[in-house]
Amino acid sequence: MKIKSTQQLKLPIGVGDFRFGTLEKKFIRKVIVSNRLSYGPMTQEFERKFSAEHDCRFGIFCNSGTSALHIAIAALKEVYKWNNGDEIIVPAITFIATSNVVLHNNLKPVFVDVDRFTYNINPSLIEEKITERTRGIIPVHLFGLPADMEYIVEIARGNKLRIIEDSCETMFATYKGKKVGSFGDIGCFSTYIAHFLVTGIGGICTTNSSRLAVIIKSLMNHGRDAIYISIDDDNKKGKELFRIVERRFKFIRLGHSFRATELEAAIGLAQLMKKGDIITKRRENAAYLTAGLRDLEEFLQLPYTPKDREHNFMMYPIVLKKGNKKKLVRFLEENMIETRDMMPLLNQPLYIKLFGNIQNEYPVAKWIQNNGFYIGCHQYLMKKELDYVIDKFHQFYKKYG
């Protein structure tokens, strides 16, 4: 296909986008009229509806997916009395925050190689990394595709390990009919810019444990006594009010200032009401790209979706089977098609400094790091933008083979 002009296109074609719609503006106006930014009705409704969408009893809205992961681990560390230096299993391909939060909690990340086709942690390699100090597993649902949770849950139960689902890149998708975020002790999501639902900043923990929910809320609010959750608690009467007054400025654990505001929750609530359209459009765009690039499968490994799960395509991942990744990426970027490396972790300068050059121990991760990248397939991309992307891939391979 030939694109005669780029004037009708919206360039550059980014990996993500966000636009304020009528509903977002309506809910933001409600917050402005209420004159309230701290934890309130918008946040409570967003938490309640988001957690219900993921088959969980509790949702806790904080200021980022990274913060959600951080306090999830801290809560489990407190409840199960983990010691500094205990180990958490982490996939060798993921955004660096997944393992950084393990380090921030004074625990040790232990890496496991990933599946060559789904890019998620390879369950068959987990047990060989379990030691007497292993306490948990963080499976990552990468790029919109759930990890192989049946086997991960089985391994965790057999070894008395806790599960923290890093679902920052995957919302609403199911694995064997069950929603991401509901398999483990805690699920963690992100609503950062370019993610599935966007609130600007934001993250969510989901759990079915009331005890963990209370501790997580405390941890994101400086470690405050859970008797005082919001300014609405100041409206209590009689003895209940006196108990709150005595304890509302008590801090019982080492916490953080990880709170979000009613404005972010308002945007999230509006986005949540559009989730069906977002899912449909992302899947359609991914399918269109796959159809258009199918004849290049000699060169490109296109996204794969196992039959037992859904793919909601936060991004469109590609790994080169042969050829020069740098040359292709440079060509795409020069033609205003944004790319991102596919979550390189073990080759990051910081991690080489911390763990040494261990990439050769994880051959699939190394292959992905050297040959993988992703492009956008978000809901704001129209057919003409997708045609442009497809055409540029074909131009490249026609020129360079």
Residue 173 belongs to some domain of the structure:
yes
- Residue-level pLDDT at 239: 75
Residue 177 confidence (pLDDT): 97
Q: Is the pLDDT confidence value at 3 over 70?
A: no
* pLDDT-based confidence at residue 246 (cuts at 50, 70, 90): confident
Instruction: Give the residue from 214, 242, 272 where a domain finishes.
Output: 272
In a shared domain, residues 179 and 68: yes
Indicate whether 141 belongs to any domain.
yes
Q: Residue 235 sits in a domain of what CATH number? A: 3.40.640.10
Q: What is the mean pLDDT of the chain?
A: 95
**Spatial CA neighbour of 204 closest among 240, 249, 171:** 171
> Alpha helix (H) ranges present in 294-348?
325-334
With contact defined as beta carbons under 8 Å apart, do 230 and 196 qualify?
Answer: no
Residue 2's pLDDT band (cuts 50, 70, 90): very low
**Contact indicator for 302, 291 with CB cutoff of 8 Å:** no
Q: Do 205 and 309 reside in the same domain of the chain?
A: no
Sign of the torsion formed by the C-alpha atoms of 287, 113, 173 and 20: negative
When pLDDT is cut at 50, 70 and 90, the band that residue 237 belongs to is low
Predicted confidence at residue 8, as pLDDT, reads: 76
Choose one of 214, 246, 272: the last residue of a domain: 272
**The domain boundary residue, chosen from 272, 302, 332:** 272
Question: Percent of the chain, pLDDT > 90?
Answer: 90
Indicate whether 212 and 286 sit together in one domain: no
Backbone CA torsion sign across 206, 287, 292, 298: positive
Whether 320 is covered by a domain: the verdict is yes
Are 395 and 293 in a shared domain? yes
Asked whether the predicted pLDDT for residue 105 surpasses 90, the reply is: yes
Strands, E, within 182-331: which ranges? 186-190, 203-207, 300-301, 316-320
Kindly report, residue by residue over 6-46, the tens digit of the pLDDT: 557 889 999 999 999 999 999 999 999 999 999 999 999 99
Are residue 234 and residue 313 in the same domain, yes or no? no
| Mean pLDDT across 63-69 | 98
In a domain? residue 1: no
In a shared domain, residues 233 and 307: no
202: left (phi over 0), alpha (psi -120 to 50) or beta: left
Quick check: is 125 in a domain? yes
- Report the distance separating Cα 256 and Cα 221, nearest Å: 6
Residue 10 lies inside a defined structural domain of this protein: no
Rounded to the nearest 5 percent, the helix, strand and coil shares of the chain are 45, 15, 40
Q: How many CB atoms lie within 10 A of CB 8?
A: 11
pLDDT of residue 1 exceeding 50, the answer is no
Please give the pLDDT value at position 215: 97
Mean pLDDT of 62-75: 98
Do 228 and 334 lie in a common domain? no
What is the per-residue burial (b if ≥16 Cβ within 10 Å, else e) of 326-339?
Answer: eebbebbeebebbb
Instruction: Calculate mean pLDDT across residues 235-253.
Output: 80
Percent of the chain predicted with pLDDT > 70: 98
CATH code (residue 317): 3.90.1150.10
Is residue 14, in this structure, part of any structural domain at all? no
Q: What is the mean pLDDT of residues 184-210?
A: 96
Give the tens place of pLDDT for each residue, 111-131. Answer: 999 999 999 999 999 999 999
Do 206 and 102 have their domain in common?
yes
Predicted confidence (pLDDT) at residue 4 exceeds the cutoff of 80: no
> 10 Å Cβ neighbour count for 12?
12
Number of domains in the chain: 2
DSSP bridge pairs for 202: 64
Position 249 in a domain? yes
pLDDT over 50 at 314, yes or no: yes
Could you list the residue range(s) of the whole structural domain that residue 349 is in? Answer: 275-400
Same domain, 203 and 141: yes
Note the pLDDT tens digit of each residue in 257-275.
999 999 999 999 999 999 9
Q: Are residues 70 and 199 part of one domain?
A: yes
Say what the pLDDT of residue 361 is. 98
Structure tokens at 172: 């609403």
Instruction: Check whether residue 312 and residue 182 sit in a common domain.
Output: no
- pLDDT (mean) for 365-374: 98
Judge if 259 and 170 occupy the same domain: yes
Beta-strand (E) ranges in 198-301?
203-207, 300-301
| Contact present, 293 and 390 (Cβ < 8 Å) | yes
pLDDT over 60 (residue 198): yes
Q: Which range, 193-197, 244-248, 258-262, is most confident?
A: 258-262
